[in-house]
C-alpha cells in the first residue's frame, strides 16, 4: 500500500487541456485548427493535420475529424456575422427585423410596439424589440417594431423658423 | 473465435451521408438529390461507395436504410408560388444489370403553408430493412428542392448492414 501511494505521487499528471495518455505514454493533443490523424506511438508523438475548408476545431483535441461550420441559411433568414476560420466557429444572425428564437429554432418577427410605446434604441442585432412607454414630452401614434417615441412638436420654434430665414438653429442661439 | 472472424462486425458496411448545402438543385419539381458529403461533419462511409450521387452496395446483405429530410420556408425568401404543397421523399434502389428502379420507401405530406406566420417547417423520416445485392444503388428524390433545409442534422440518409444473405 505504501509503494502504491508513492508511485501515484511520482507519476506526473498527464490528462490536461493539452495532453492525453495513450498506451502508458503522455502525448500532446492537437492544437485548435487541427485534428488528430494518428495517435502517438512508442517512438513518435501524435500526428496533427490542419482542418479542411469549411471546417474548424476550437479546442485542443484528440478528434479524428474537424467540425463542420454551421450554415447561415438565407432560406431561414440567417446571415453571416462572422465567417469563422479553422479555430473559430462561424456565427450567424437573423436579418434585420427578426430575432433568433430557441424554441422554434427559427428567426421570429420582432415585436411591434403599440401606439404610446416606442422601440428602445439602438436596436440590438438578433434581439427582439424592447417596447418602452413614451416619456413625458414624447409620443408614438404608430404600431412599429423600429420607431422610437418622437418628441412633441415645439410650436413656438416652428413659428419662429418660418419667420426667420436662418431657420430654427439660428434662433436657438439667439 | 471462428464465428467472430466470419461475421467480422468491424467490417460491416455502413454509410451516413449529409446534404451538400452548396449544390442543392433549385426549383419546385421532383429531383434526384445527387450532391452529398460522405466524409465531412457527421457523415461517414465504410465498405460502401458513393459515386455519381448514388450510394453503391459493395457487399450483399440485409441492410437498414433510412432518410431524414427537412423542408423549411421563411417569409424573407418571398412568397411561395404555390401555397398548397406536397412535400415528399422517395428512396430508390436501382439495379443497372436488370435495368430496374424500385421505390423502396416513400414519405411526406400535403401542406398548406399560408397564413401570417413568418416560418414554416416540416420533416420526413423513413426507414426500413432491405435485401441488397452488390452493385445495387440507393438514391434519394425530393419534391421541393428549393425548400430543403441544408444543415447536416436536418437532411441526410444512410445505410448499415445488419446480416449476411442466407
Give me the interface pTM, i.e. the ipTM.
0.83
Q: Which of B73, B119, B149 sits opposite A104 (nearest CB)?
A: B119
The model's confidence at residue B79, banded by pLDDT at 50, 70 and 90, is confident
* CA–CA gap between residue A9 and residue A46 (Å, rounded): 26
The ranges of chain A with pLDDT < 50 are: 1, 168, 171-174
Pick from B41, B76, B77: CB nearest A68: B41
Q: Answer whether residue B8 shows pLDDT above 80.
A: no
pLDDT tier at B28 (50, 70, 90 boundaries)? Answer: confident
Q: What does the block give as the cell for A33?
A: 485548427
How high is the pLDDT of residue B115? Answer: 75
Specify the pLDDT at position A1.
46
B121 contacts A68? CB cut-off 8 A: no
Residue with cell 473465435: B1
Most A CBs within 10 Å, among B41, B45, B146, to test the A interface: B41
Q: Do A73 and B147 touch (CB under 8 A)?
A: no
- Residue A173 falls in which region: left (phi positive, over 0), alpha (psi -120 to 50) or beta: alpha
φ, ψ at A23 (rounded to 5°): 40, 55
Q: What is the mean pLDDT of residues B116-131?
A: 96
Write the residue in A54, A71, A107 that is nearest to B74 by C-beta: A107
Q: CA-to-CA distance for B106 and B108, rounded, in angstroms?
A: 7
Q: Report whether A61 contacts A50 (CB < 8 A).
A: no
Best mutation target, B23, B37, B40, B146, to test chain A (most A CBs within 10 A): B40
Are the C-beta atoms of residues A96 and A119 closer than 8 Å to each other? Answer: no
Give the least confident one: A167-171, B41-45, B98-102: A167-171
Stronger pLDDT, B14 or B97, i.e. the higher one: B14
Instruction: Supply angle C-alpha A122, A147, B120, rounded to 5.
Output: 90
pLDDT of residue B9: 54
Q: Are B17 and B55 in contact (CB under 8 A)?
A: yes
Mean confidence (pLDDT) of chain B? 92
Amino acid at each position: 500500500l505504501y509503494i502504491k501511494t508513492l508511485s501515484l505521487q511520482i507519476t506526473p499528471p498527464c490528462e490536461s487541456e493539452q495532453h492525453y495518455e495513450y498506451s502508458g505514454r503522455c502525448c500532446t493533443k492537437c492544437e485548435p485548427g487541427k485534428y488528430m490523424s494518428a495517435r502517438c506511438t512508442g517512438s513518435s508523438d501524435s500526428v496533427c493535420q490542419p482542418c479542411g475548408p469549411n471546417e474548424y476545431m476550437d479546442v485542443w483535441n484528440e478528434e479524428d475529424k474537424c467540425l463542420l461550420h454551421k450554415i447561415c441559411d438565407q432560406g431561414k433568414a440567417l446571415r453571416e456575422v462572422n465567417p469563422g476560420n479553422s479555430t473559430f466557429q462561424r456565427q450567424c444572425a437573423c436579418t434585420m427585423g427578426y430575432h433568433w428564437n430557441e424554441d422554434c429554432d427559427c428567426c421570429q418577427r420582432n415585436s411591434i410596439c403599440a401606439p404610446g410605446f416606442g422601440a428602445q434604441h439602438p436596436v440590438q442585432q438578433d434581439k427582439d424589440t424592447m417596447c418602452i412607454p413614451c416619456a413625458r414630452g414624447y409620443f408614438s401614434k404608430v404600431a412599429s417594431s423600429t420607431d422610437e417615441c418622437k418628441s412633441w412638436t415645439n410650436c413656438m420654434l416652428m413659428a419662429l423658423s418660418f419667420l426667420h430665414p436662418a431657420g430654427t438653429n439660428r434662433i436657438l442661439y439667439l | 473465435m471462428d464465428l467472430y472472424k466470419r461475421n467480422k462486425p468491424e467490417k460491416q458496411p455502413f454509410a451516413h451521408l449529409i446534404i451538400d448545402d452548396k449544390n442543392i438543385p433549385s426549383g419546385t419539381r421532383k429531383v434526384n438529390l445527387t450532391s452529398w458529403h460522405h466524409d465531412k461533419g457527421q457523415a461517414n462511409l465504410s465498405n460502401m461507395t458513393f459515386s455519381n450521387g448514388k450510394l453503391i452496395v459493395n457487399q450483399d446483405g440485409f441492410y437498414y436504410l433510412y432518410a431524414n429530410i427537412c423542408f423549411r420556408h421563411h417569409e424573407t425568401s418571398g412568397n411561395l408560388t404555390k401555397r398548397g404543397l406536397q412535400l415528399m421523399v422517395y428512396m430508390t434502389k436501382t439495379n443497372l444489370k436488370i435495368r430496374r428502379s424500385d421505390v423502396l420507401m416513400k414519405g411526406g405530406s400535403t401542406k398548406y403553408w399560408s397564413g401570417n406566420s413568418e416560418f414554416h417547417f416540416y420533416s420526413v423520416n423513413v426507414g426500413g430493412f432491405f435485401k441488397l445485392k452488390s452493385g445495387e444503388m440507393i438514391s434519394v428524390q425530393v419534391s421541393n428542392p428549393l425548400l430543403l433545409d441544408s444543415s447536416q442534422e436536418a437532411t441526410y440518409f444512410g445505410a448499415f448492414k445488419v446480416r449476411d444473405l442466407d
